[in-house]
Amino acid sequence: MKKTIILLAVLSAGLAACLTEPVMLPTIHIEPPSPSAAASLTLDDRIAVGDAWAYLRQGRTEKAMTIFVRLGPRNAFAVAGQAYIALMRNDLAGAEELFDRALEIQSDLTSAYLGLGQLYQKSGQDVQAYRTFLEALKRDPDNEFARRESEAIAEGKTAEAMAEARAAESAGQTEKGKEAYLRALEYSPKLLDAHRALARISIKQKDFPSALFHLQTAAANGPEDTGLWREYADALFEAGQWSRSLDAYQQIVALDPQNKSVKDRVDQIKNRLGVADLPDQFGSIADAENVTKEDVAALIGVRFREALADVNPKPPIIVDITTSWAQRYIHKVAALGILEVFSNHTFQPKKTMNRGELAEAIVRLIEVLKKNGFPLVPQIPIERVRISDVPEEHFYFVSIAQAVAYRVMDLAPDRTFKPDLPVSGREAVKIFDFLAGLIK
């Protein structure tokens, strides 16, 4: 009899608990804070947060709320937990305020971003939801929920934008179509159809820089598409960027060796540039890990052949370039003072160039081009250039500041230049192509 009474008492207590705390099973995704996110809490608070979020995921919101209140209003995990409770109760305004407050306390709280993203989905703010899920992925790149939701939104928004763009183009509304294609790229940056469409529009508008940007991006993501490479090469050719178009046409030849029209175009450009007889070393510069002085001399000689054609100063005596493949270009740039000949009459053609030395060569080249009638001007005042790792007393400071002011060479996001860093072939080709484009 005594055992029966005890059992009934336990059952009554359990029933009372169920009656006083109805379970609200979550219909939303709830991820507990990661151990690393909660690492700064005391052991007791970590345990309390773990218990509260376990209750939350079970739908036992009153028990969870009791712990959240005890943890206090400056505990980001408690505030985010209360936001989830508000979201479960469909109090969107209250939930948004609490999620924002949690992120003010702890800006890297992935759980808060996931909740906020779902809130925006509930309120029909898909764009804001997408951006919020991306913020979650920045903090937790492996978060499967954020990835899945952001990709689903991106897919839908891309399809919507592409349909709008095509309809606008069909109706002759070019600018509206252009805006829609750009919106599609916000969600799908590598979408070939959007890049090709924007390139086509830009070519019609004679906006070759934009056309080349979109075709270059598309070609990088469709390396085996000869039709795409042909569009890119033709656009470069039409824009007068002979050297870059030559590289693009040669890529087509590598993919389609039997394409006679492209091979004829390659020969035409080589003859125009005067590089038909260049050895294989010139074509290998772009793939070089570090460029040498002879590489840079050749790049300048070829890229600026027409611009420097009428400048023929007396070449200096150089004793160590008889076996260099770039000998004729070295004579030219050395005579112009663009690259240095040492006091012992050596050029040191195999010497690797660093970024500081290249900046000096670029500024000297710019001065020669300006004297030859090309109106090159700095894009930003030199006195406003701030470089964190090159003091004013540095040997190459003036040249580096000028190269940056002309925007021919760039600073890193932390405003460093890294003057002693060797220059890769790809970087050198890009720099001289950019400068050549400024004088077209």
Is residue 264 domain-resident?
no
Q: How many helices (H) and strands (E) does the chain have?
A: 20, 0
Output the six-digit token pair for 262. Answer: 């492209």
Counting Cα atoms < 13 Å in the Cβ hemisphere of 56 gives 31
| Per-residue pLDDT, 279 | 63
Give the dihedral sign, CA 239/242/244/247: positive
C-beta separation of 126 from 120 below 8 A:
yes
Question: From residue 423, how far is each of 203, 220, 296, 350 by CA, in Å?
Answer: 33, 22, 10, 13
Is residue 181 domain-resident?
no
Is residue 222 domain-resident?
no
How far is residue 198's CA from residue 211's CA, in Å, rounded to a whole number?
7
Q: Give residue 118's domain range.
A: 9-142
Boundary-marking domain end, from 142, 173, 198: 142
C-beta separation of 303 from 431 below 8 A:
no
Output the six-digit token pair for 4. Answer: 């029966």
At 91, which CATH number? 1.25.40.10
Output the six-digit token pair for 271. Answer: 């003859």
Is residue 333 domain-resident?
yes
| Per-residue pLDDT, 35 | 83
CA 101 to chain centre: 31
- The structural domain count of the chain equals 2
| Per-residue pLDDT, 254 | 82
Is residue 165 domain-resident?
no
Place of tokens 């606008």: 168
Which tens digit of pLDDT belongs to each residue from 103-127? 999 999 999 999 999 999 999 999 9
Is residue 114 domain-resident?
yes
Percent of the chain beyond pLDDT 70?
Answer: 92
Is residue 335 domain-resident?
yes
Amino acid at 50: G
Boundary-marking domain end, from 142, 171, 206: 142
| Per-residue pLDDT, 228 | 86
Is residue 206 domain-resident?
no
Boundary-marking domain end, from 122, 142, 162: 142
Which ranges of the chain have pLDDT less than 50? 1-19
Q: Residue 410 burial (CB < 10 Å; 0-12/13-18/19+)? A: exposed
